[in-house]
Chains A and B, each alone.
Chain A
Amino acid sequence: MVIEMRDLMFLSEKNGEFPLDKLSRGSTAVITEIKAAAAAARLAEMGFVPGETVQNGFTSPAGDPTAYLLGGCSLVALRNNEAKNISVRIIAEQKGAL
C-alpha cells in the first residue's frame, strides 16, 4: 500500500531529494542517504537508515529540535544541523498542517 502511494507521489511531486530539516510538519518521507559519514553510525543506531520512513512530528517552541516519527514506531528528536545531513524523498505531503 505504501509503495503504491509512493509511486503516486512520484508523479505529482518534483521527484527530488531534499534534506530532512526541510520536511514540513506532518509530512512523511523516506530516507535515501545519510550524508555525514561521521554521524552516520550514531544516526543509524537511533534508527535513521536509508529506506526507513520518517514523518515530521512536531517542533520545539524555539523551532530547533524537531521530533521525527521513525518507521511509524519510535519518536526521535534531532537538531536541524543534524537533520540536514539526512536526504529524504517525500512520500506523503501534509498540506495546511498545524
Chain B
Amino acid sequence: MKLTSFKQKRAAEPRRLYLLGNPNVGKSTVFNAMTGLRQHTGNWSGKTVDAASGKYTYNDREYELTDLPGTHSVNSGFSEESVAARSIARGNGAVTLILADAAALKRGVALALEFLENNGGGAVLCVNFCDIAERRGIKINFEKLSEALGIPTVGITAKKRGDIKRLKELTDKNYDILSKRAAPQGPRSTAEELLKRAAEISNECTEAPTAASSPCCAADRVLTSRIFGIPIMLLFFAGILWLTIEGANYPSELLSRLFAHIKPYLAAYVPSPLKGILVDGIYGTVTWIVAVMLPPMAIFFPLFTLLEDAGFLPRIAFNLDRCYARCGMSGKQCLTQCMGLGCNAVGVCGCRIMPDEKQRTIAVITNSLIPCNGRFAILISLSAIFIGGMVPDRLAGLMPMLCVLALICLAFAVSGGASLFFSKTLFRGSEAAFAMELPEYRRPEILKTLAVSLVTRTIKIVGRAILVSAPIGAVIWLLANMYVGGVPALTRLSLLLDPAGRLIGVDGFILLAFILSLPANEITMPILIMGYTAAGAMADAGSLADLSALLEQNGWTLLTAVNMMILTLFHWPCATTLITIYKETKSPKTLALSFLTPCVIGITLCLITKLLTKAVLLIV
C-alpha cells in the first residue's frame, strides 16, 4: 500500500492551493499549521510581503499551498497586493482558500464576492478567529453562509489542530469540483456594492450580542494619549533593552568561559600545522560570535516578537506618523524600520508595504541607518565597557541601556533627517497619505512565541553569521599570520588605512574591520580583536573585561569608543542587504545611494565628535 501511494504521488502533479485574504487574518498562521513550515507571522497588516509555498500530504495526495501577502481587493494596484492577484491568475485549475476574520466577517465576505465575480468559483471560505468570536458571543451560521456564497465554508481557529484537519478534509473532498472553474460572468461590481452585499450576507448569517464590545478599547486611549503615548513607548523599549543587557551578561560570561575551557582540549586533537587556522582562526571567531551575539539576540528578539504579536508596532507607527509626515514620509516607514532592527535585508523587503513609489525608495535607502541585530550586539558590548565602566557600579546596568537607547533614537532621528533630505531633493513630490489598519490587541501565546522566535530568528541568524564568519575567520588568521617584510599583512593593511582612520578619530584597524566585515556585520568585532592581538589570533577576549583591557592597550579613548559606535550605526549596508536592495529596486542609483548615505553620515558625525573633543581639550 505504501508503495502504490508513493507511485500515485509521483505520478500526479501536486494539487495547488492559494491562501487569499485581507491583511492580518491569519493566513501565514494557517499556512504554518497546514504545512508545518515557519513563515513569519505578526499582528499587523503587511507582515508577509512575498508569496511562499509549502507542501503537505492529505489522504495520500500531495498539496502545494501558497501563502500570499494580505490584500483588500483581488484587483488592487498596490505593489504589495498585486503579488496576490498575479499568483492567482497564474493558478488556473487551482483552489483558493479565502481566509476571513470571524470578528470582521463582512470584509472577508466582500473579498470572497469579488473573487467569485472574477473567477466564477474555485474557492473555499475559511473563517478564522473563531475563538475570539466565541469569546465575544458572536455566532456564525456557516451553512447559511455557504449557501449564500455558493462555496464550501468552514469556521476554524488557526491554532487548533483539529480545525486545520477539518479544513484539509474539506478541501480534499471538494478539490475536484472546485478546481474546474466556470467562466466568470456578469459585470464587475464596485467596492461599494460589494461591501453592501457582503454586509447583508454577513448580517444574515451572524448573531452578535446587542451590546457588541467594540475593538476600540481603552488601552489605545492611553497608549496614544497626548501625555503618555510617547513616554510609554520609550519605557517599553527601555525595559526590553534593560532586560536584554542585564540578562545577556551572565550567559555571555558563562559561554565564553566554557569555550575558553574547551579550547586546549580541541587544540590537543588538531594536527599542528592546522592548529593556528582551525583553533585560533575559525574556532576563536565562531565562539566569540556565539558567546557575545547569541545571548542578547536570544533575549531581545523574542521580547520584541511579543510586542509585535500583541499588536503594538502599528500603534508606534500611528503615534509617530506626524514626525514621519514632517520628513515627507508615512508612519508605515516605522514598521519597516522595526523590521530593520532585526535584519536590514528583511526591512528592505518590508518596504513593499509603502504604497508610494518615492517613499518606498527613500525607505529602502534609509533602512540600513537603523542598526540590525549584528550591529546591536556591538553597541551593547561597547557601551557596557565604556559607558558602564565610567559610572559607579550601582548604575552600571542602567547606563549602557540608556546609551543604547540614545543611540537607537539617534539612528531613528538621522534616518528621519536623511528621509527629509531625499524627499526634498532627489525624490520630490510623493503623495502624503497614510492609511493604515490598526489590528486588535491579541494576547500573545508567550511560551510558543518565545520558542518559535528563538528557533526561527535567533538560531537562524546566528547560524548564518557562523557560516559567514568561519571562512572569514580563517582568512583573517592567514592575513594576521602572513608576514610581509617582517610585519603581518593585516597590520600592514591597517597601517595603510591608519591616516584615514586617525582623521575621523578612530584607527586603521577599525576601518579595516568595517571593510572586511562587508559580508556580515557580526564579524566586525572578531576581526578587530584579531587585528589587535599581537599573536595574530584572538587572545581569549571572550569576556568583556578582557576585551576592555585589550582595547585600552591599543590606545582606545572615549572618543574612539564613541566614534566606533557611530560608525557601527552608520557605515554601509552588509552584502546581503545590498543584494536585497538591488533585487527589490533593480536600480543602480538606489543601490549607490544606499551605500553612500550611511557612509557620508558616519564620517561626518565622526569628524564632528573629533572636532568637539579637540575643542573641549583646548578649553580644559
Least distance between B550 CB and chain A CB atoms (Å)? 45
Taking a contact as CB atoms closer than 8 A, the residue among A42, A69, A98 that contacts B435 in the complex is: A42
Residues of B within 8 A of A46 (CB): 72, 435, 437
Residue A39 lies at the interface, judged by CB distance under 8 Å to chain B = yes
**Of all chain B residues, which has the CB nearest A68?**
B216
In chain B, positions 314-353 with a C-beta closer than 8 Å to chain A are 314, 318-319, 321-323, 325, 331
State which size class the interface on B falls in: 35 or more
Residue B357 lies at the interface, judged by CB distance under 8 Å to chain A = no
Residues of B within 8 A of A44 (CB): 190-192, 195
Stretch from B33-41, B223-231, B298-306 that touches the partner: B223-231
Least distance between B488 CB and chain A CB atoms (Å)? 55
Residues of A within 8 A of B433 (CB): 39, 42, 79, 82
Q: Is the CB of A75 within 8 A of B325?
A: no
Residue B440 lies at the interface, judged by CB distance under 8 Å to chain A = yes
Q: List 8 A-B contacts (CB under 8 A).
A: A46-B72, A58-B216, A61-B227, A67-B318, A72-B214, A77-B437, A78-B435, A82-B435
Residues of B within 8 A of A69 (CB): 214-216
In chain A, positions 59-98 with a C-beta closer than 8 Å to chain B are 59-65, 67, 69, 71-79, 81-82, 98
- Contacts A44-B192, A65-B321, A74-B437 aside, 18 further interface pairs with beta carbons under 8 A come to A44-B191, A46-B72, A47-B195, A49-B192, A49-B195, A51-B196, A60-B321, A60-B322, A61-B227, A61-B319, A64-B322, A65-B331, A65-B436, A72-B212, A73-B107, A75-B215, A77-B437, A79-B432
Residues of B within 8 A of A82 (CB): 433-435
Q: Is the CB of A75 within 8 A of B216?
A: yes
Taking a contact as CB atoms closer than 8 A, the residue among A51, A63, A64, A74 that contacts B192 in the complex is: A51
Q: Is the CB of B216 within 8 A of A60?
A: no
In chain B, positions 383-439 with a C-beta closer than 8 Å to chain A are 432-439
The 8 closest A-B pairs by CB, nearest first: A62-B322, A44-B191, A73-B104, A61-B229, A45-B72, A49-B192, A57-B216, A75-B438
Least distance between B114 CB and chain A CB atoms (Å)? 10
Residue B13 lies at the interface, judged by CB distance under 8 Å to chain A = no
Residues 78-121 of B, flagged 1 when their CB comes within 8 A of A and 0 if not, give: 00000000000000000000000001111100000000000000
A61-B220 Cα distance, complex, nearest whole Å = 11
Least distance between B129 CB and chain A CB atoms (Å)? 11
Residues of B within 8 A of A63 (CB): 226, 322
Please classify the interface of chain A as helix (H, G, I), strand (E, B), loop, or mixed, using the class held by over half of its residues. mixed
**Of all chain A residues, which has the CB nearest B330?**
A79
Residue B442 lies at the interface, judged by CB distance under 8 Å to chain A = no
Count: A-B pairs, CB below 8 Å: 120
Question: A residues bordering B, Cβ < 8 Å?
Answer: 39, 41-47, 49-52, 55, 57-65, 67, 69, 71-79, 81-82, 98
Q: Is the CB of B104 within 8 A of A74?
A: yes
**Of all chain A residues, which has the CB nearest B314?**
A77
Q: Is the CB of B435 within 8 A of A77?
A: yes
Residue B76 lies at the interface, judged by CB distance under 8 Å to chain A = yes
Least distance between B549 CB and chain A CB atoms (Å)? 46
Residues 431-470 of B, flagged 1 when their CB comes within 8 A of A and 0 if not, give: 0111111111000000000000000000000000000000
Residue B157 lies at the interface, judged by CB distance under 8 Å to chain A = no
Residue B73 lies at the interface, judged by CB distance under 8 Å to chain A = yes
Residue B199 lies at the interface, judged by CB distance under 8 Å to chain A = yes
Answer whether A76 and B437 are a contact pair too, CB < 8 Å, given A65-B318, A69-B214.
yes
Q: Is the CB of B106 within 8 A of A77?
A: no
A77-B438 Cα distance, complex, nearest whole Å = 7
A85-B221 Cα distance, complex, nearest whole Å = 25
Residues of A within 8 A of B438 (CB): 67, 75-77
Answer whether A61 and B432 are a contact pair too, CB < 8 Å, given A45-B191, A49-B195, A72-B214.
no
Q: Is the CB of B435 within 8 A of A60?
A: no
Q: Is the CB of A79 within 8 A of B195?
A: no
Least distance between B221 CB and chain A CB atoms (Å)? 5
Q: Is the CB of B321 within 8 A of A79?
A: yes
Q: Is the CB of B220 within 8 A of A58?
A: yes
Q: Is the CB of B106 within 8 A of A41?
A: no
**Of all chain B residues, which has the CB nearest A73?**
B104
Q: Is the CB of B199 within 8 A of A71?
A: yes
Residues 189-209 of B, flagged 1 when their CB comes within 8 A of A and 0 if not, give: 011100110010000000000
Taking a contact as CB atoms closer than 8 A, the residue among A41, A73, A77, A98 that contacts B103 in the complex is: A73
A28-B11 Cα distance, complex, nearest whole Å = 59
Residues of B within 8 A of A65 (CB): 318, 321-322, 331, 434, 436
**Of all chain B residues, which has the CB nearest A69?**
B216
Residues of A within 8 A of B226 (CB): 61, 63
Q: Is the CB of A60 within 8 A of B318?
A: yes
